[in-house]
Chain A
Amino acid sequence: QKEVEQDPGPLSVPEGAIVSLNCTYSNSAFQYFMWYRQYSRKGPELLMYTYSSGNKEDGRFTAQVDKSSKYISLFIRDSQPSDSATYLCAMKLEYSGAGSYQLTFGKGTKLSVIP
């Protein structure tokens, strides 16, 4: 079983739709959970990060973490054509006292929002 599973899509939705992007993971020790957005020919940019289970909202974006199910989600409300990009989930585990960590990314989901 891969450490982080993410459906690569592509996912195509009409403008204004609610988008749900998901990742599952196998390592229960992951502590930090992140979502990055990557436009074509650009580097990833951090959208959201969370430390604990629950929801975190930022404008049209909501990140949800369910540690008991090892499942994280990103919801995009009122999706816009400018949201068309690849969305990467990422999870981080810090090794206490060692000053090092493990950072694992999903493969990314390509999203297209059609006007």
Chain B
Amino acid sequence: ETGVTQTPRHLVMGMTNKKSLKCEQHLGHNAMYWYKQSAKKPLELMFVYNFKEQTENNSVPSRFSPECPNSSHLFLHLHTLQPEDSALYLCASSQGIGGSSGGSEQYFGPGTRLTVT
């Protein structure tokens, strides 16, 4: 595997389910990110982890719970979601979070297409 991988690629879940999204980066990066991409809306940054420590939480509802056990893996745990949470969830990684060379050059995974019914 190379780059940033995400599983599953597609997920359909009911509002009472609990599921998890997984992201793995094979680039030796130290920072990882979760984004939400909805139709006709800008990409929204949800969470940032740097060296396994969460540095950003952009007012994301508690029904989304991130976990970063090490610099290569990132999870997004989902529970009691709403239909408006249906979107493409993208994971990204970068060498660092600061400066023009590190934080700006983010490498994205292909995303998980989530549908909440």
Q: Which residues of A contact B (CB under 8 A)?
A: 4, 8, 32, 34, 41-46, 49, 51, 88, 90, 92, 94, 99-101, 103-108
Contact = CB atoms under 8 A, between A and B. Distances in A.
| A contacts with B: majority SS | strand
A43 B4 contact: yes
A43 B108 contact: yes
A92 to B, nearest CB: 6
A41 B105 CA distance: 20
Contact of A101 (B43, B98, B105, B111): B98
B85 to A, nearest CB: 19
Interface of B: 4, 40-45, 48, 50, 55-56, 90, 92, 97-100, 103-111
Contacts of A94: 98-99, 103
Contacts of B104: 32, 34, 46, 49, 92
Contact of B108 (A45, A100, A103): A45
A107 B98 contact: no
Contact of B110 (A43, A101, A107): A43
